[in-house]
């Protein structure tokens, strides 16, 4: 488990000026990892760390051999085109690298001039997935989302009996995950209107986003060796933003009895920057349950988790329609929420996932499920904001939405603030809906 | 789509004598692929082809540079520690390699003496997974299984309304798939008896096997580019046997509303040998639906699929208890079934999977779901054979089973027979249940 250390010191400032600006997502206290290259490069993906409006090129840094010991080993791993090796090295390696980077980027750092040669402006880079994602699991950890969605299907009985006991999750599709900027064709699939005699193949008309966090697994576990709550946080490399696009009409027709399938597997988008669990240490909160709710079963409980298992991460979801883009309007905020409302903590998700012996691997992605807050306006999906597609959402430019239209771009952001800590951010995850592809013969 | 050619000629015989014996799984008409090494070798996995009771070492063969053109390229890919590259090359490469191997292994082949140096007795090898399995999807394609299981939950309404329209499937866990010989600890998880006030953590007491086929994806498709029925069979590299172990009690408590999760992700076992779709050409059958059932939607229909989309693969499932092993008794057959009963063909599964644009990747595994036949004794799981764990199954040695006990070994086999064709087999997939691991503090 991660404690506060010198890298969190709020008085630290970087020799990269932009990192010291108020409201910057990437001050020296953050130091998230991504995989990137310059926009004009091919086959040159490598690890990078965000600092202000710059990316510190870890492959370039590595060539300077600036660190020794574990930090040097971790830097070498982090300079690769995928971060799986870094992720597999565990918290002491991550922590050594973070400390070395923090010292290298601080005001007054000895070799700042040499390190400055390793900076690339963010405006000039493109990103790739930070790692090979072997398996993707999506949880359902917001009780507010589960209740709101449950109400649409079962008004009298919105929450199923297992919800408060089991961190509900399901296996997702790894191949269709891409990094921020993903543009995908509106999926087609079988849909059946309640009054239709038969289903038909059609482009989804109830296309939605889901505002989620993604948890990137670090070292992982051997098959058959469950991860206990005391080990769980050491298994988490970091968190990112995740938009788990969903086709609600496909889902309604296909999901019984084995769960969502094609309604989810056409695209999922994550932010490029992985904020380490260590960077999130100042934003931990007590994990509590509403009065009267059952305590987690012992295998999902620990004193540490109760004391500081929750993470205070403010989330927002914005929409920019094609019309807004044409008019030069910025994305409009649809909702805000916060990951601290989650009914299960990241540690509980990791522990539950492996309790049957299932092996988690470095780079595996755990989605938290849609993070809706307790208030209706804190809903993390259009399904909730429009009451199941019945109440149009009025946008500032006069447009309306029940679900996503072609040309819509969804932008999600996340950041952390706490008294006595420097604000850190996740950057953004952005994705765009393209029109459905025409089928052969159309 | 694969037609009969000289490699299927029933009069072909191999200079490897054991391949010509009646009832052999691996005659020269089969030529399935696996990844193997000698039992005493480390870090030496490479591709192999089964011939009689021997494995043709493709890395050794490759060093002889016996082929030219596409067959040579395919052989190089097939000699790697994973077959993903071979799988990505597509049907013309697979077919060229098969033809070259068939000619090399035939009676009278010119360089038989040199090739014989590349044989390793099966008795002396161990296997690994044939490929990196990026994503694993499990379908539910036996209407007999779906009906039998549905009856246990909903006696009056066993089959859900979508079943005859949608090839129902769900994302599975890739990391816990292993090759035949897998021994795994009985999974623990949350269980809740109907009359219990609260769930508890316990080892599964309703551990089951599922008799399935696995479909290995070949070339795959780009994200956003669905695979049509006319392209679908060219995407299939081959088939294997799959035991999709299931913890029924974990499943009952966790599966609403998002489907099976930990009830499945603790272990899945596949056979080492992948029988190519080309080898299965003589065992194709017409794909028909029972009178009165709806025709597949046009995107899941093709003349070729109707004429010969089904595969006649005889399946059997056997159990060897620890007691039987001690008494020197062979595994006892519990059930036989046949993949031709499947309500959906492999081509339909591939096409449906990608209709939303989901990208299939070389080496992805599609499970067919439990292949129960129309008769009760053709059930592919204990859940069905014991009527939901109520009717004990009496074994020949006097033991009884409702579900699997510690020490039980499940062995599944598959083979194809047809008039005018030489019988080919899949070998076996074998797995063993170990006792639950003790938890910390027990």
Backbone φ and ψ of A319, nearest 5°: -125, 135
Question: Among A142-156, A304-318, A387-401, which is the least confidently predicted range?
Answer: A142-156
pLDDT digits (tens, 9 = 90+) for B87-143: 999 999 999 999 999 999 999 999 999 999 999 999 999 999 999 999 999 999 999
Handedness of CA B270, B271, B277, B283 (dihedral sign): negative
* Nearest by CB: B190 against A165, A170, A189: A165
Are A201 and B298 an interchain contact pair (Cβ–Cβ within 8 Å)? yes
Q: What is the pLDDT of residue A187?
A: 98
Handedness of CA A8, A11, A13, A19 (dihedral sign): positive
> Closest Cα of chain A to B125: distance in Å?
23
Residues 6 or more apart whose Cβ sits within 8 Å of residue A156: none
Q: Tell me which residue of B214, B413, B193 sits closest to B320, measured CA to CA.
A: B413
Q: What is the pLDDT of residue A441?
A: 52
Q: What is the pLDDT of residue A156?
A: 85
How far apart CA B350 and CA B370 sit, in angstroms, is: 17
Are A224 and B437 an interchain contact pair (Cβ–Cβ within 8 Å)? yes
Q: What is the pLDDT of residue A416?
A: 98
Say yes or no to pLDDT of B166 above 50. Answer: yes
List residues bridging with A432 in a β-sheet.
Answer: A183, A409
Residues 352-381 of B with CB under 8 A from A: 352-353, 355-361, 364
What average pLDDT score do residues A86-109 get?
98
User: Chain A contact for B428, CB < 8 A?
Assistant: no
Catalytic residues of A: 145
Say yes or no to pLDDT of A246 above 60. Answer: yes
Are A201 and B299 an interchain contact pair (Cβ–Cβ within 8 Å)? yes
Name residue, tokens 């599944």: B412
- What's the CATH code, domain A6-128? 2.30.30.230
Q: What is the pLDDT of residue B154?
A: 80
User: Chain B contact for A198, CB < 8 A?
Assistant: yes
How far apart CA B207 and CA B246 sit, in angstroms, is: 6
> Closest Cα of chain B to A53: distance in Å?
31
Q: What is the pLDDT of residue A152?
A: 87
ipTM of the complex: 0.96
Q: Coil, strand, or helix at residue A78?
A: helix
Residues of A whose CB is below 8 A from B440? 228
Positions of E strands within A286-371:
310-311, 314-320, 332-338, 365-367
User: Chain B contact for A158, CB < 8 A?
Assistant: no
Q: What is the pLDDT of residue A155?
A: 84
Q: What is the pLDDT of residue B440?
A: 57
Q: What is the pLDDT of residue B1?
A: 45
Indicate which residue of B8, B144, B145, B341 is catalytic. Answer: B145
Are A135 and B437 an interchain contact pair (Cβ–Cβ within 8 Å)? no
Model confidence band, residue B441 (pLDDT cutoffs 50, 70, 90):
low
Model confidence band, residue B438 (pLDDT cutoffs 50, 70, 90):
confident
pLDDT digits (tens, 9 = 90+) for A379-419: 999 999 999 999 999 999 999 999 999 999 999 999 999 99
Say yes or no to pLDDT of B2 above 60. Answer: no
Handedness of CA A245, B137, A221, A303 (dihedral sign): positive
Count of all residues that appear for chain B in the document: 442
pLDDT digits (tens, 9 = 90+) for A221-239: 999 999 999 999 999 999 9
Mean pLDDT score of chain A, rounded to an integer? Answer: 96
User: Chain A contact for B255, CB < 8 A?
Assistant: yes
Are A355 and B265 an interchain contact pair (Cβ–Cβ within 8 Å)? no
Residues 284-313 of A with CB under 8 A from B: 294, 297-299
* Nearest by CB: B187 against A258, A261, A356: A356
Q: Tell me which residue of B234, B141, B301 sits closest to A201, measured CA to CA.
A: B301
Are A267 and B357 an interchain contact pair (Cβ–Cβ within 8 Å)? yes
Query: Which of B357, B369, B437 to mutate to probe the A interface, most A CBs <10 Å?
Result: B357
Say yes or no to pLDDT of A44 above 60. Answer: yes
What average pLDDT score do residues B364-377 get?
97
How far apart CA B380 and CA B369 sit, in angstroms, is: 9
**Got the DSSP string for A143-208?**
HHHHHHHHHHH-TT--S-TTTTTS--EEEE-STTEEETTEEEEPPEEEE--TT-SS-EEEE-SSEE
Q: Coil, strand, or helix at residue B98?
A: helix
Residues of A whose CB is below 8 A from B142? none
Nearest residue of chain B to residue A250 (CA atoms)? B356
User: Chain A contact for B194, CB < 8 A?
Assistant: no
What average pLDDT score do residues A173-178 get?
98
**Could you state, in order of their start, the residue ranges of all structural domains in chain B?**
6-128, 136-434
Q: Tell me which residue of A364, A300, A361 sits closest to A167, measured CA to CA.
A: A300
pLDDT digits (tens, 9 = 90+) for B52-95: 999 999 999 999 999 999 999 999 999 999 999 999 999 999 99
Q: Greatest CA span in chain A, whole angstroms? A: 74
Are A258 and B170 an interchain contact pair (Cβ–Cβ within 8 Å)? yes
Asked if A215 contacts A311 with a C-beta cutoff of 8 angstroms, the reply is no
Domains A6-128 and A136-434 share a fold: no
Nearest residue of chain A to residue B229 (CA atoms)? A440
What average pLDDT score do residues B2-22 get?
94
Work out the percent of chain A whose per-residue pLDDT is above 90.
96
Are B160 and A439 an interchain contact pair (Cβ–Cβ within 8 Å)? no
> Closest Cα of chain B to A430: distance in Å?
18
Q: What is the pLDDT of residue A1?
A: 44
Are A169 and B357 an interchain contact pair (Cβ–Cβ within 8 Å)? no
Backbone φ and ψ of B159, nearest 5°: -105, 125
Domain A136-434 has CATH 3.90.850.10: yes
Mean pLDDT score of chain B, rounded to an integer? Answer: 96
Q: What is the pLDDT of residue A438?
A: 77
Query: Which of B187, B257, B300, B370 to mutate to probe the A interface, most A CBs <10 Å?
Result: B257
Question: Among A31-40, A228-237, B147-156, B403-412, which is the least confidently predicted range?
Answer: B147-156
Model confidence band, residue B386 (pLDDT cutoffs 50, 70, 90):
very high
User: Chain B contact for A390, CB < 8 A?
Assistant: no
List residues bridging with A336 in a β-sheet.
Answer: A316
Residues 120-149 of A with CB under 8 A from B: 134-138, 140
Task: Classify strands B284-285 and B310-311 as parallel, antiparallel or unpaired.
Answer: antiparallel
Are B175 and A297 an interchain contact pair (Cβ–Cβ within 8 Å)? no
Q: Number of residue pairs across A and B with CB atoms under 8 Å?
A: 212
Enter the DSSP assignment of B431. Answer: E
Are B225 and A437 an interchain contact pair (Cβ–Cβ within 8 Å)? yes
């Amino acid at each position: 488990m991660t404690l506060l250390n010198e890298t969190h010191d709020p008085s630290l400032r970087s020799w990269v000026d932009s990192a010291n600006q108020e409201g910057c997502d990437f001050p020296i206290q953050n130091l998230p990892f991504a995989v990137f290259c310059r926009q004009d490069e091919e086959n040159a993906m490598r690890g990078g760390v965000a600092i202000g409006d710059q990316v510190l090129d870890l492959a370039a840094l590595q060539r300077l051999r600036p660190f020794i010991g574990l930090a040097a080993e971790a830097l070498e791993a982090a300079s690769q085109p995928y971060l799986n090796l870094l992720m597999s090295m565990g918290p002491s390696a991550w922590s050594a690298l973070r400390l070395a980077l923090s010292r290298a980027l601080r005001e007054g750092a000895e070799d700042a001039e040499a390190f400055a040669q390793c900076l690339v402006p963010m405006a000039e880079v493109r990103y790739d997935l930070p790692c090979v994602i072997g398996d993707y699991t999506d949880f359902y950890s917001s009780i507010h989302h589960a209740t709101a969605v449950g109400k649409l299907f079962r008004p009298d009985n919105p929450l199923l009996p297992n919800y408060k006991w089991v961190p509900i999750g399901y296996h997702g599709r790894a191949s269709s995950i891409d990094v921020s900027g993903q543009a995908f064709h509106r999926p087609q699939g079988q849909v059946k209107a309640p009054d239709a005699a038969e289903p038909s193949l059609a482009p989804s008309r109830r296309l939605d986003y889901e505002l989620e966090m993604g948890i990137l697994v670090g070292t992982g576990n051997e098959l058959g060796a469950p991860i206990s709550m005391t080990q769980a946080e050491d298994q988490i490399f970091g968190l990112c933003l995740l938009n788990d696009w969903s086709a609600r009409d496909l889902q309604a027709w296909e999901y019984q009895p084995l769960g969502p399938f094609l309604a989810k597997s056409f695209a999922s988008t994550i932010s490029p920057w992985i904020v380490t669990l260590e960077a999130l240490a100042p934003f931990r909160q007590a994990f509590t349950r509403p009065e009267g709710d059952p305590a987690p079963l012992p295998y999902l409980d620990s004193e540490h988790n109760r004391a500081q298992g929750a993470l205070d991460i403010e989330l927002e979801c914005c929409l920019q329609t094609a019309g807004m883009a044409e008019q030069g309007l910025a994305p409009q905020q649809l909702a805000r929420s916060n990951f601290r409302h989650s009914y299960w903590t990241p540690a509980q998700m990791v522990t539950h996932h492996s309790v049957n012996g299932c092996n988690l691997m470095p780079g595996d992605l755990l989605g938290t499920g849609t993070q809706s807050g307790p208030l209706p306006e804190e809903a993390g999906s259009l399904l909730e904001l429009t009451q199941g597609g019945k109440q149009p959402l009025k946008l500032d430019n006069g447009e309306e939405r029940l679900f996503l239209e072609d040309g819509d771009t969804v932008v999600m952001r996340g950041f952390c603030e706490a008294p006595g800590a420097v604000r850190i951010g996740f950057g953004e995850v952005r994705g765009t809906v393209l029109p459905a592809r025409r089928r052969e013969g159309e």
